[in-house]
Amino acid sequence: MRYDFEERKFTDLRTAAGNTAVVHADGRMSWRSLHARTRYWMHRAREAGARPDYPLVILGHKEASFTSAILGCLTLGVPYVPVDTVNPVERIRQIVDLSGATLIYDAATNRFIEHDGLKVPLEETDIAYIMFTSGSTGAPKGVQIGHESLTLFVHWVRDHLALGKAPVLMDQMLFSFDFSLFNLAASLATGGTLVLCSRDIIASRDAFLHHLAKNRVSVWASTPSFARQQLMNAHFDRISLPDLSVFVFGAESLNHRLVSELRDRFPNARIVNSYGPTEATCSTTWADIDASMLDPTTNNYSIGRAKPYATVFVDNGEICIAGDHVMRGYLNAPALNQTALFVHDGKRAYRTGDMGVIDESGLVHFRGRRDDQIKLNGIRIELAEIDAALANLPGVRSGVAVALHRPDGTLLRMIGVVEPNDGIDGEGIQPLPHGLLPWRSMLGLTLPAYMIPSELVACCPLPTTATDKTDRKTLESRYFDARLKAR
């Protein structure tokens, strides 16, 4: 059995129906059971008032019923709005209100809750889901993705990525993070298995590793930061995880140090790098990584080439994406849509805010975010370039440049924070290991003087956001807290 995302229904109903479709905290769910539970969920949703083109919020965290609800919404033509309960309560309320939903499904308690929403359908019809991302104004932005976009993405996963027959995918990313769509699509469209990994399971490295090994996970998809955290466990290797054969990365730059360590631990595994904002349905470029794809300027790997249905080009240094997989616009944000969206060769197109270049072979290289550019002493600096140099220091697993700001928001100075390979005692900001004391001269070999941080400190592990990206804002706060305590 499998779920056909284009036809929006379960197919091949008599084939391997007893195989495991979803692994969850309380056990396993077969394909037959997933089908039955989804149908029952749809019956209850209709009775509760779910209708096509009216958004429905799904609230929860890695419950099996969250998966049934997503499939139920797709089948019914109800735009789903995934909201994870690891988010602060106020943010959850904000997203629910902004979505205009009149119905919430609580996956943890398996109940429907009425909400005082707009009681009108979306202006855009046939929307598959609305994913909320952080907005520059402080309010989340609702990204509207149509069914046509989702179908294109699923076809690529199924027909081009070659994950093997019935792959088993680790699923630790929040359903409210668009990269998690990769796991859902790859497992359910191919008749594979989705192994849900809650934050409770991940909290214990040994329990997490056992969970993956017991369920014979074959595909690992995550941010590079999350993989780096696991490398602190000496047992994270091919001996403990013999079925793990593919790594898929996205949402952050993939550097040489991480790839090198993974190849040592998993010498026969494929490593795939991908790129794409939420606004372009999870990912737009991809490539199987090899040594030729290393960008000598940043020491990061290329983010690959455009998928068959996408066009990628650079306009004034900014990466732009065009195609039918581009979002239908931000929810109820016409002014923002005018700024971010345009038409390119008759297709919807999106200005990503990411900086990049395309080399002569057609490979795209990410060069940081517009909003990660700073102007220090009158000189414009890309923090991503400094991140790469810090990660290349000896004995360092990862590094990040952090801009420090005064209370009024103006730039004070820039520091570097590194995560040593061997870890450090204590939490928060710590002094550097002895081997890194000549860090200024080491960075001076690759960076001009104006790009060298004013100070270098250590932190292990580097903090991450709810979507497992390195968190610069938290590092800035930790640094100031440490300096206050030191007075």
Give the tens place of pLDDT for each residue, 163-192: 988 999 999 999 999 999 999 999 999 999
pLDDT, averaged across the chain? 92
Give 300-329 pLDDT, tens digit per residue.
Answer: 899 999 999 999 999 999 999 999 999 999
Do 300 and 204 share a domain, yes or no? yes
Do 354 and 383 share a domain, yes or no? no
Do 147 and 287 share a domain, yes or no? yes
Please count the other Cβ atoms lying within 10 Å of the Cβ belonging to residue 28.
15
Q: CB–CB of 35/14 below 8 Å?
A: no
Rounded CA-CA distance 114/102 in Å is 6
Rounded CA-CA distance 417/394 in Å is 14
Residue 481 forms part of a structural domain: yes
Task: Return the pLDDT at 435.
Answer: 81
137 pLDDT higher than 70: no
Residue 369 forms part of a structural domain: no
Mean pLDDT of 375-384: 77
Which amino acid does the sequence have at 406? R
Mean pLDDT of 107-119: 93
408 pLDDT higher than 90: no
Q: Whose CA is closest to 18, among 35, 30, 9, 29?
A: 30
Buried b (16+ CB within 10 A) or exposed e, 378-389: eeebbbbbbbbb
Strands 168-171 and 193-196: parallel
Parent domain of 336: 2-358
Q: Whose CA is closest to 34, among 18, 15, 21, 19?
A: 21
Do 443 and 333 share a domain, yes or no? no
Question: What percentage of the chain reaches a pLDDT higher than 90?
Answer: 71
Do 326 and 382 share a domain, yes or no? no
Rounded CA-CA distance 164/192 in Å is 9
Do 252 and 201 share a domain, yes or no? yes
Q: Whose CA is closest to 349, among 312, 380, 387?
A: 312
The burial class, CB within 10 Å (0-12 / 13-18 / 19+), for 430 is middle
Domains held by the chain: number: 2
Task: Return the pLDDT at 3.
Answer: 97
Strands 193-196 and 219-222: unpaired
Do 458 and 347 share a domain, yes or no? no
377 pLDDT higher than 70: yes
Do 389 and 473 share a domain, yes or no? yes
Q: Whose CA is closest to 287, among 310, 299, 303, 300?
A: 303
pTM here is 0.85
* Residue at which a domain ends, from 314, 330, 358: 358
Rounded CA-CA distance 214/217 in Å is 8
* Residue at which a domain ends, from 358, 387, 402: 358
Do 51 and 178 share a domain, yes or no? yes
